[in-house]
């Protein structure tokens, strides 16, 4: 039973959703989504944001109809105990995978841009105690980290506007020069940067008057969509198509042109500040995975946290090089697309039918 002291206001859902979506992807998604829609790919970001809002609506419809209001209860009601617990375990593994992807990608950026000889295991040893402290305490600690993860790094969004002086409007003309199919294909690639909101299926019971918090979830997704769209549009005004094909982290290239009397390499400051966006991603995923396993099997929360952090440490240390990180990102992208846009709608339909049948029987 969750006490009232453990719950947070509905407004915090805005920061939880935004913090779970904004992360390391903001540095290089522009080149990825450019694959199909070209200079129109910034429109695909908005399409992805709209699609995510639809999935959030489906989640709330299921969560509001369940007493305990989380993925564990929904699975058990819909599929029964054994199959439900199996599917919930797969969901916990998915959350853990997302945490690994975010953390390992961020470490790769540090290795490429700042410390080429950084040992992954050594850096992880510094971070694991921080992760454990955050996820082993009350949920309010995670919420506080997410709040700061949205507010503090917001300065990086403003920094990107330095490149507007070098913008070339011809780089995005003619607008809507690609087919709907191409825009949707690019949208499917953009969705990877929005996937963190799946943690809503776990933290919903920790929201006061949770049913009324849906508007804040949509506001949080709207904020994320506007940020990604603005970053993408500014990048496309600065880079031409051939440059985007060869640039891996487009946002870092925009930061490099910023010159200040007291700061020679702004991209170093940007990468360091980005940690406050990465931290909410990782701790929210890890807390949600820990909570899911605890609810499913009744294990001690802190012990589960230690085990999952151990898996996070080992897995992040194993995947090395650009190929390993790409493998992680590609796997998470495919799994996330299937889970959010195929499995969630199917679960919604089956759950709805089960409720109607049981209501008629009773």
Quick check: is 356 in a domain? no
Q: b/e string for 153-182 if b means 16 or more Cβ within 10 A?
A: beebeebbebbeeeeeeebbeeeeebeeeb
Quick check: is 55 in a domain? yes
Please state, in angstroms and rounded to a whole number, the distance separating the CA atoms of residues 276 and 10.
22
Quick check: is 210 in a domain? yes
Quick check: is 358 in a domain? no
Residues above pLDDT 70, as percent of the chain: 99
Which of residues 138 and 217 earns the better pLDDT score? 217
The boundaries of the domain holding residue 327 are 8-346
Quick check: is 93 in a domain? yes
Quick check: is 357 in a domain? no
Specify the pLDDT at position 67. 63
Query: If you ran DSSP here, which 8-state letter would residue 10 be given?
Result: T
Model confidence pLDDT, tens digit, residues 33-62? 888 888 898 999 999 999 999 999 999 999
Q: Is the pLDDT of residue 2 over 80?
A: no
Q: Is the pLDDT of residue 263 over 80?
A: no
Quick check: is 26 in a domain? yes
Which of residues 223 and 244 earns the better pLDDT score? 223
The owner of tokens 């309010």 is 140
Quick check: is 352 in a domain? no
Model confidence pLDDT, tens digit, residues 160-210? 777 788 888 888 888 888 889 999 998 888 888 888 889 999 999 999 988
Q: Is the pLDDT of residue 259 over 80?
A: no
Model confidence pLDDT, tens digit, residues 71-100? 999 999 999 999 999 999 999 999 999 999
User: Which of 254, 317, 265 minimizes the C-alpha distance to 26?
Assistant: 254
Of the candidate ranges 41-55, 151-165, 264-278, 294-308, the one whose mean pLDDT is the lowest: 151-165
Which residues are within 8 A (CB) of 354 and not within 5 positions of it... i.e. 6 or more apart? 77, 78
Tell whether the torsion through CA atoms of 282, 284, 288 and 294 is positive or negative: positive
User: Which of 99, 138, 131, 141 minimizes the C-alpha distance to 282?
Assistant: 99
The CATH code of the domain that includes 190 is: 1.20.1740.10
What pTM was computed for the model? 0.93
Structural domains in the chain (count): 1
Please report which confidence band the pLDDT of residue 1 belongs to, taking 50, 70 and 90 as the band edges: low
Please, what is the Cα angle at 259 between 255 and 265, to 5 degrees? Answer: 60
């Amino acid at each position: 039973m969750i006490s009232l002291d453990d719950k947070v206001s509905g407004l915090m859902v805005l920061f939880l959703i935004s913090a779970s979506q904004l992360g390391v992807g903001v540095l290089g998604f522009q080149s990825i989504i450019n694959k199909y829609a070209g200079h129109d790919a910034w429109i695909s970001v908005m399409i992805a944001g709209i699609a995510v809002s639809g999935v959030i609506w489906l989640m709330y419809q299921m969560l509001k109809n369940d007493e305990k209001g989380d993925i564990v209860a929904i699975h058990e009601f819909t599929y029964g105990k054994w199959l439900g617990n199996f599917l919930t375990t797969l969901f916990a593994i998915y959350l853990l995978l997302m945490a690994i992807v975010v953390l390992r990608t961020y470490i790769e950026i540090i290795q490429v841009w700042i410390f080429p000889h950084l040992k992954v295991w050594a850096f992880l040893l510094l971070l694991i105690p921080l992760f454990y402290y955050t996820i082993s305490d009350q949920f309010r600690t995670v919420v506080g980290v997410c709040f700061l993860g949205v507010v503090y790094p917001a300065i990086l969004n403003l920094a990107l506007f330095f490149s507007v002086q070098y913008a070339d409007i011809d780089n995005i003309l003619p607008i809507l020069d690609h087919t709907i199919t191409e825009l949707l294909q690019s949208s499917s690639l953009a969705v990877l940067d929005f996937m963190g909101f799946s943690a809503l299926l776990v933290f919903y019971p920790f929201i006061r008057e949770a049913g009324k918090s849906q508007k804040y979830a949509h506001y949080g997704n709207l904020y994320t969509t506007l940020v990604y769209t603005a970053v993408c549009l500014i990048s496309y005004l600065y880079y031409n198509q051939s440059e985007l094909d060869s640039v891996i982290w487009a946002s870092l290239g925009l930061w490099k042109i910023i010159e200040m009397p007291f700061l020679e390499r702004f991209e170093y400051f940007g990468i360091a500040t980005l940690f406050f966006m990465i931290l909410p991603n990782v701790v929210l995923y890890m807390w949600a995975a820990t909570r899911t396993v605890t609810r499913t099997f009744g294990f001690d929360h802190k012990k589960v946290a230690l085990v999952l952090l151990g898996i996070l440490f080992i897995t992040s240390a194993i995947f090395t090089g650009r190929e390993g990180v790409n493998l992680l990102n590609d796997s998470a992208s495919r799994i996330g697309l299937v889970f959010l846009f195929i499995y969630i709608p199917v679960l919604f339909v089956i759950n709805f039918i089960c409720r109607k049948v049981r209501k008629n029987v009773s």
